[in-house]
Structure 1
């Protein structure tokens, strides 16, 4: 029995806002996962509603910029930068810029719609 898993075909999460979400590990690919790891590309002018997730979220920016409103603070990260947002923190993610933002998101426990608490 192998003690590793290689993900060659991530699950592409259906979206209606133009954002690409490729989940490599998480609830969409394995219902028993305690973590989710996803590759994402947010198109220009994209944004999500505010949310207060019941999971920690780590984001690493590969290309472009991503805007965060955390509680009442505005933060912009650029390529090569990363952030950890504690669970139960009100946050809004967006890309108000003119270029795509490519990033990796890691959530623990794994992302799920019943834990994200979107407004």
Structure 2
């Protein structure tokens, strides 16, 4: 998640801690919802829905500076060689990156409470 903390710190400075917490809560909800859409699309072999979900996840990740997640999602939405058989594995990899981004951002937000 290189860059997430730096970007989140910039957001905290620009928005303040309370607004940053709100942004992070929205991000958490988006990740939960979109990673589930990605998983279901992958299981169904629905490439169009899979790519739309990856696109939406990339945007959400970019909004909070979760660079590794954003890059993985952008790759998933643009790679023509990801077929139905590969989609579940890619979705699982992205889900792991989602959890990592959430953990890192939660730790950052927890630091706001101690500051």
* Structure with more strand by fraction: 1
* Structure with more helix by fraction: 2
TM-score by length of 1: 0.23
TM-score by length of 2: 0.24
Q: Which has the higher contact order (CA 8 A, sep 6+)?
A: 2
